[in-house]
Each structure stands twice: as structure tokens, then as C-alpha cells.
Amino acid sequence: MSRLELRHVRKAFGGLDVLADISLSVGAGEFVSILGPSGAGKSTLFQLLTGAEHGAGEMFFDGAPLDDHGRHFAFMPQRDALMPWRRIIDNTTLGLEVQGVGRKAARARVAPLFAEFGLVGFERHFPAQLSGGMRQRAALLRTVVQERDMLLLDEPFGALDALTRAALQRWLEQMWRHHRWTALLITHDVREALYLSDRIYVLSARPARIVREIKVPLPRPRDPTAAAAPLASALEAEILDILLNPQPFKGHDDD
């Protein structure tokens, strides 16, 4: 049973086709990635989901047309978008505050999560005092504590250095195994997609359409060295081949 389902979603910005034809689904407790070149319109897709933009095509959540956008998704933007003027604890309660949860109750709900997110002792710090990796974990904490049906992660590790990114990918995979969030991740990092996802949709360059859907049958917990395993490297080679040698579009029936 899929929770999110998109059928032939299209979007153009003034004559410029950004999304040509996107059909995809995300099941309950499934981690799905959308992998594509930069500027392919991946973030536009999230804007459609969160209601910031409107496009053509059909979008369903739990079988019902997607109308009340705020209810289903917790969105984590590319850069951490932490508010420099709020302490970490007040940044993490932001989503709850917008939902109308009182300050005290919101703090009580985020407090127990600080340990798991490796942020104990930094509750009263300002974002500028934290490292890039910690800021990103705080941003994820702010996202998951909203307890929405589904996480939308827009290149959450894109701005980090390679080592921090690798550490956070491992940490996120571990967190996901505990929590089994339904998640949709946007990325242009093939290894990141393979390491974290159950399934990957590969996007073409703009105008974006889905050129391939790839199941990732790698066992969990994912072995950090799995990138070297034969199956993983075969998948990686296949995806890179699709991305780097684009085939002329021949039609794709996945309904």
C-alpha cells in the first residue's frame, strides 16, 4: 500500500518545462530517493508536495487527493535553515510551535530526542556555535519531531564536507532503522542514494522525467563498506551510466 503516489505530474515555469512527467510512489516505512543531475527540478517536486507551487497531474496521499499539504509532510531544506537568533532547543521546537503546541510542551517533546541526535549539552547554544554536522542533525531533529506522515529531505548533506557527510549518512541509516520513517530523499550523490534507500528513482536532466526505477536489495543494516560490494558497485555503475549517457526518451510505462 503506497502512502504517496504521483501520477503524471508536470510543472512549467513560464514556458520552461521543469517537470515533464513524474509518476512515483512511496510505501509506508519506505526510504525512497530521487536521484538526478543538478538543476533537474528535484526541488520543484518538493515545492509541489508542500504546496508552495502548483502543477498539473495527480497527487495522492493514502489514496486521497493531496489537498492539505501541511498535514502530511515534514520538510528539511537543503541548507539547515536554522534561525541564527534562536537557540538550538528553540529551533527544534519551531515546527511544533507553528502547529500551536505551547512552548513548555514543545520543549518537553524535543528534549528526550537530544541524546539520540548527539546534541546533549548544546540545547542553549546558538546555531553559529555548532559544527556543520551538528547543525544538520539539529535540522533533522526539528523535522522529525513534527511527527508528520512523511519526511521530505532535500539534499540534506549537500553542503557538508565529505567526511562529515559520510558520518551523517551512516548515522541517518542507523536512525532510520530504529524509526522506519517514510522518507523521500532528493540527492545527486549516487552512493548516498544507494546507501540509504530501499528504492531509487533516477531522473533525467530538465525537463525531468523518471528514466529508471531501481530497487536496492542490499541487506540492512547497511554495511558502510557495502559501496565496495559487487552488487552495490554494479548498481552504482548502472545508475552512473544512465545519468552520464542519457538515452533519447522512448516512453516509459510504469503505471
Partner 1 sequence: MLASSSTRPRRVAGFLAKSAPAVISVGLLLVTWELYANHSGIKPTILPAPSRVLEQAILNRGALIDNAIPTIRATLLGFACSLSAAFVFSVLVDFFQPLRRALFPVFIVSQTLPLVAIAPLVVLWFGFGLAPKILLVALVTFFPMLVALVQGYEATEAEIGQMLRAMGAGRWRVFVLARLPSALPYFFAGLRISITYAVVGAIFAEYAGAAKGLGIYMLNAKNNFRPDLVLAAVAVSAVLTLVLFGLTVLLQRIAMPWERVGREPSGKGRRG
Q: If phi over 0 gives left and psi between -120 and 50 gives alpha, with beta otherwise, what is residue 100?
A: left
Which of 85, 112, 178, 219 touches partner 1 (CB under 8 A)?
85
Q: Is position 130 an interface residue for partner 1 (rule: CB under 8 A)?
A: yes
By CB under 8 A, residue 158 contacts partner 1: no
Question: DSSP readout, 67-130?
Answer: --HHHHEEEE-SS----TTS-HHHHHTHHHHHHT--HHHHHHHHGGGTTTTT-TT-TTS-GGGS
Residue 83 Cβ, how far from partner 1 at the closest point, in Å?
Answer: 6
65 upstream amide cis, omega within 30 of 0: no
Q: Select 27 or 77, whichever has its Cβ closest to partner 1.
A: 77
Instruction: Out of 41, 55, 95, 156, name the contact with partner 1 by CB under 8 A.
Output: 95
- The answer to the question of residue 101 lying near partner 1 (CB under 8 A) is no
How distant, in Å, are the alpha carbons of 122, 128, 179 from that of 159?
21, 15, 25
| 99 vs 247 by CB, closer to partner 1 | 99
Helix axes of 132-144 and 162-179: crossing angle, nearest 10 degrees: 20
Residues 15-44 that bind partner 1 (CB under 8 A): none
Window contacting partner 1 (CB under 8 A); options: 58-66, 67-75, 169-177, 227-235:
67-75
Binding site for partner 1 (CB under 8 A): 47, 50-52, 69-71, 73-79, 81, 83-85, 94-95, 97-99, 125-133, 146, 152, 161, 163-164
